[in-house]
Amino acid sequence: MDKLRFSDLSDEQKTVVCNGCGPKAWGGLQPPQFIFRASCDQHDFYYWRGGTEKDRKFADKEFYKFMKIDIKEDAPWYKKPHYHTLAWIYYSAVRISGVTCFTYLDEMRTEADLIETVKVYNNIQDAILEITEVEDDDR
């Protein structure tokens, strides 16, 4: 079976699996996105897809590689040193603390897992909306 790839995801699936830079648990305390949003989203996907420690190391190396591409292609020349420093900090952060966010599995998640994840996410969103509507009716 082929590995599920980030480029295979729909926008809805990316919304469910990815949140940009920083762990979802931080909520509103996300680090600045700068020009790294797409690289962070792809890294989120790799962490959701999971696998072994070897897969996590690959995800982190790809993250750093793609941030450097972001810098090369999108950063003005005078901001490049600043962005290279931030890319190294972001990479170091995921190497040090990413172990708590990575999905360790014997085999990577599949398209069926992704479909189920989106279904569960949508059910939760519907339940939240229903609770909100009930609370609004009670006022």
Query: Quick check: helix, strand or coil at residue 104?
Result: strand
Q: Say how far apart CA 42 and CA 36 lie, in whole Å.
A: 10
Query: Any idea which fold 9-108 has?
Result: Phospholipase A2 (1.20.90)
pLDDT string in tens for the chain (139-residue length) = 578 999 999 999 999 999 888 776 555 555 666 799 999 999 999 999 999 999 999 999 999 999 999 999 999 999 999 999 999 999 999 999 999 999 999 999 999 999 999 999 999 999 988 888 776 666 6
pTM: predicted TM-score of the whole model, two decimal places: 0.86
* 36: nearest Cα among 94, 111, 86: 86
CB 123 within 8 A of CB 18: no
